[in-house]
Structure formats: structure tokens, C-alpha cells
């Protein structure tokens, strides 16, 4: 039953919970972490770890996507980012970070980021980025916005993409845009594709259920909220309390499973996950996997060189993010970030190891079982 509170005469609001508001409560016999599996499968593609990389140029280059793929995760290239607009992205990123490090005015670096994204998309460059990942033998995923999905999908599929991610801050089953001859109906759009689609983000049960009915293989919950870098709350007043949002989407998944007689749609959490404990709590709330940003951006392989920004930071008229330094000095390898060893007592390294140990301490051996673990709300 929803917990509604009155915020004024005739106006109610729902009480909701962040991941920081809850804790996992082990209540079964413990097991060895070596007996725990963190594998999951999205459509025909199996992954050893429940981790996707946020589709921002600060994090996912073709080479980073390859490295993460080889380690069992999924790197999602931003199909509307710099890899499809500039031939020498490394040089452009170096200049951007130089401005960020030297200029006290945060507007200057956002203006430079907007200028970089104002360059036209070049199909050849985008196809080359997809081919680089595909030819490495890892699952190839590319993100497009709802506004440009119809235009970009054919060329991405021709280039060999395995998974298409239709991703915006908030998405619905039908997207209406000024000047379009017809709205983007996701059910029709997905039904006409030969590759599985992951869509998001959503923040409530109704929208999650609607997206599942479009035929999406996975639904993203949240918009990648990260303290210090995403500013969607300040700009739009929109917030997604992730614990409640994940649980609501998991309930939609159960409803859709009953409705269809067995079709399972994966719930992918995207926001406020900065440690292995947050990752464990997201899975415990009902997520099958999680999209990570800053936790992976600290790695030496990330193209942002210790800086991170969400893809929404480059919006031409309503930027909703800032550049944030996330690593100073020598940066850990992606292997260390994912599987250790760790010398950090706060859960920023060995993310998968922390998740495995949380599952083991709670007595569960698979991600699906771990979604049944007991939870408590902090007073």
C-alpha cells in the first residue's frame, strides 16, 4: 500500500526511499562467496557481472567498451556522442579537461562540451566505432535518444550493433517531438527491429509496465543521478528515489510476467550507485543489473582521465550536468575497480567482490534469489 502524506490542503505526496535509506538484512545461513554467481542474461546475451557503463564520452570509448566486455560487463557507446562526431576524440577530450582544470568558470567547460556536440554526426565515424567493438568479439551496445532513435537505428544495425539502448532522462512508450510527422511509438519501433532494445529511464510502476509492453528486453530505472555531477533536480525539479523506483519497476515486471504468461523483462538500475554496497542494495530491491558512471570513471582505462560528466551535460539548451573530478593521481585499473584487490574501505574498489560477499553473507547464490533478501528502512 502506498504511503501518502499530506503536504498541504488537497495535495498529497508519496513517501519514497533512496538506496541510502535502506539496509540489507541477512536472515539465512551464510555461504562461501566462491559459490555465488553474478551472471545474468539479457535476451540472447550472457554477462558475467551485472554492470553496464553509463553512455557518456567521459567513460565509454570503443576501447573501454571492449575492456569492460572482456571482463563480463557491457559498455554502452553514446551513439550521439563525440565518437560519431570527431575523428580524434582523445585530443578533443584532452582540450576539454584542460579547460576544466584551468578555468574557474564552470560555464566555460560546459560551453566547450556543447560546441563539441554541435559538430554533425558522421555515419562513417559512428560505424567505425561500432565495428571496433564488434570485431573484438564482445557484445556491442549503442545508446540513442528517443528523438533520434528512428533516424539512427538503421545505420547502427547495419554497422553490427547487438543491442540498442533508447535512453533519455525520462522516457515514455510514445515520444512526441515538434516537427515529427508522427510520434515515436516504441512498440511499433521495437517490433520493426532485428535487435533487442533496452529503454529508459522510468521512475514509476505505470511507465515501467508501459515500456515492458512495447517489447523492450530491458527497462532502465532512473536517469544516472550522481551526487556532484548530475543537476536534473536543480534544472527540472525531477528526482528519482531509487530504492522505491527499483521496487516499483520490479513489481511491474511481476505484473507483466503474469500478464504475458512468462515474458521476463530485465530491470536495470541507473542512479545513485557509487559503491559495492549501493550495487548490492539495488539488486536486493529488484534490479537485475545496474548502470554505473563515476565508480568506473576512476579507472585508468576511462577516456575522461579522472573526470566524469553525464551525457545530459552536453544538451544544447538545457544542460543537466557538470564536470566532476573523480580521481586524482594514479588511477586504478578497471580490473581492480571490478574485481580487486582493494585497499579502499568504502566500497569503491572490487565492486563485484563486495556484491558477491553481500550475497554470500545473506545466504543467496544467484542474483535472482538475492532479490528476495530482507530489507529494513532506517529510522
CB count in 10 Å sphere of residue 216: 26
pLDDT at 166: 96
C-alpha cell at 148: 533520434
DSSP β-bridge partners for residue 290: 51, 269
CA distances to 218, 273, 274, 283, 361 from 375, rounded to whole Å, are 24, 17, 19, 11, 14
User: In angstroms, what is the C-alpha Rg of the chain?
Assistant: 20
CB 85 within 8 A of CB 124: no
pLDDT at 170: 54
The DSSP 8-state label assigned to residue 222 in this structure reads E
Q: Is residue 166 part of a domain?
A: yes
DSSP β-bridge partners for residue 166: 144, 199
pLDDT higher at 147 or 336 = 336
Q: Tell me the pLDDT band of 27, cut-offs 50, 70 and 90.
A: confident
Cα gap 379→376, rounded to integer Å: 9
Q: Tell me the pLDDT band of 344, cut-offs 50, 70 and 90.
A: very high
Cell 520493426, residue located: 192
Q: Is residue 325 part of a domain?
A: yes
**Domain count for the chain:** 1
Closest-CA residue to 45 (of 76, 2, 86): 76
The alpha helices in the chain, defined as continuous H runs, are 62-70, 89-102, 106-118, 123-135, 149-159, 186-191, 205-212, 232-236, 242-260, 276-285, 294-297, 334-339, 351-362, 367-370
CATH of the domain at 201: 3.20.20.70
Question: 3-class SS at 73?
Answer: coil
Cα gap 322→341, rounded to integer Å: 31
Over residues 121-135, the mean pLDDT reads: 98
Characterize the bridge pairing of strands 266-271 and 218-225. parallel
Q: Is residue 342 part of a domain?
A: no
CB 225 within 8 A of CB 240: yes
Q: Is residue 119 part of a domain?
A: yes
Q: How far does CA 26 lie from the centroid of its chain?
A: 27
Cell 522516457, residue located: 171
Over residues 223-237, the mean pLDDT reads: 86
C-alpha cell at 375: 530489507
| Tens-digit pLDDT profile for residues 241-273 | 999 999 999 999 999 999 999 999 999 999 999
C-alpha cell at 322: 557538470
CB 349 within 8 A of CB 318: no
| Tens-digit pLDDT profile for residues 62-105 | 999 999 999 999 999 999 999 999 999 999 999 999 999 987 67
The whole domain housing 49 covers 17-329+355-377
The pLDDT of residue 173 is above 60: no
pTM of the complete model beyond 0.85: yes
The DSSP 8-state label assigned to residue 199 in this structure reads E
Q: Is residue 7 part of a domain?
A: no
CB 226 within 8 A of CB 195: no
Buried (b) or exposed (e) across 190-204, using 16+ Cβ within 10 A?
beeeebbbbbbbbbb
User: Given its phi and psi angles, is residue 203 left (phi above 0), alpha (psi -120 to 50 degrees) or beta?
Assistant: alpha
Q: Which of 73-77, 152-156, 161-165, 317-321 has the lowest mean pLDDT?
A: 317-321
Q: Is residue 347 part of a domain?
A: no
The pLDDT of residue 171 is above 60: no
Amino acid at each position: 500500500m502506498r504511503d501518502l502524506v499530506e503536504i498541504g490542503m488537497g495535495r498529497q505526496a508519496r513517501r519514497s526511499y533512496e538506496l541510502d535509506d535502506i539496509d540489507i538484512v541477512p536472515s539465512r545461513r551464510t555461504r562461501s562467496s566462491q559459490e555465488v554467481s553474478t551472471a545474468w542474461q539479457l535476451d540472447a546475451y550472457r554477462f558475467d557481472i551485472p554492470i553496464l557503463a553509463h553512455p557518456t564520452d567521459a567513460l565509454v570509448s570503443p576501447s573501454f567498451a571492449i575492456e569492460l566486455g572482456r571482463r563480463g560487463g557491457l559498455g554502452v557507446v553514446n551513439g550521439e556522442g563525440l565518437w560519431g562526431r570527431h575523428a580524434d576524440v582523445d585530443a578533443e577530450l584532452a582540450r576539454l579537461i584542460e579547460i576544466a582544470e584551468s578555468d574557474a568558470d564552470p560555464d566555460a567547460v560546459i560551453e566547450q562540451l556543447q560546441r563539441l556536440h554541435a559538430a554533425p554526426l558522421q555515419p562513417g565515424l559512428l560505424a567505425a566505432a561500432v565495428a571496433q567493438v564488434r570485431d573484438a568479439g564482445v557484445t556491442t551496445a549503442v545508446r540513442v535518444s528517443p528523438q533520434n532513435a528512428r533516424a539512427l537505428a538503421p545505420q547502427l544495425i547495419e554497422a553490427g550493433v547487438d543491442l540498442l539502448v533508447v535512453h533519455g532522462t525520462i522516457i515514455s512508450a510514445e515520444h512526441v517531438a515538434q516537427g515529427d510527422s508522427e510520434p515515436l511509438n516504441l512498440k511499433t519501433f521495437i517490433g520493426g527491429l532485428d535487435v533487442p532494445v533496452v529503454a529508459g529511464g522510468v521512475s514509476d510502476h505505470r511507465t515501467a509496465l508501459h515500456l515492458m509492453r512495447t517489447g523492450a528486453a530491458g527497462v532502465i530505472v532512473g536517469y544516472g543521478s550522481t551526487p556532484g555531477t548530475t543537476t536534473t533536480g536543480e534544472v527540472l525539479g525531477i528526482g528519482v528515489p531509487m530504492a522505491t523506483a527499483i521496487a516499483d519497476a520490479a513489481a511491474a515486471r511481476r505484473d507483466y510476467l503474469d500478464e504475458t504468461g512468462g515474458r521476463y523483462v530485465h530491470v536495470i538500475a541507473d542512479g545513485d550507485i557509487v559503491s559495492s554496497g549501493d550495487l548490492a542494495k539495488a539488486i536486493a530491491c529488484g534490479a537485475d543489473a545496474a548502470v554505473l558512471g563515476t565508480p568506473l570513471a576512476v579507472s585508468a582505462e576511462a577516456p575522461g582521465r579522472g573526470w566524469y560528466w553525464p551525457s545530459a551535460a552536453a544538451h544544447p539548451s538545457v544542460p543537466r550536468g557538470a564536470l566532476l573530478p573523480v580521481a586524482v593521481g594514479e588511477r586504478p585499473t578497471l580490473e581492480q575497480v571490478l574485481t580487486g584487490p582493494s585497499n579502499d574501505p568504502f566500497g569503491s574498489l572490487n565492486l563485484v567482490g563486495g556484491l558477491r560477499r553481500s550475497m554470500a553473507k545473506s545466504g543467496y547464490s544467484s542474483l535472482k534469489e538475492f532479490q528476495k533478501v530482507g530489507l529494513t528502512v532506517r529510522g
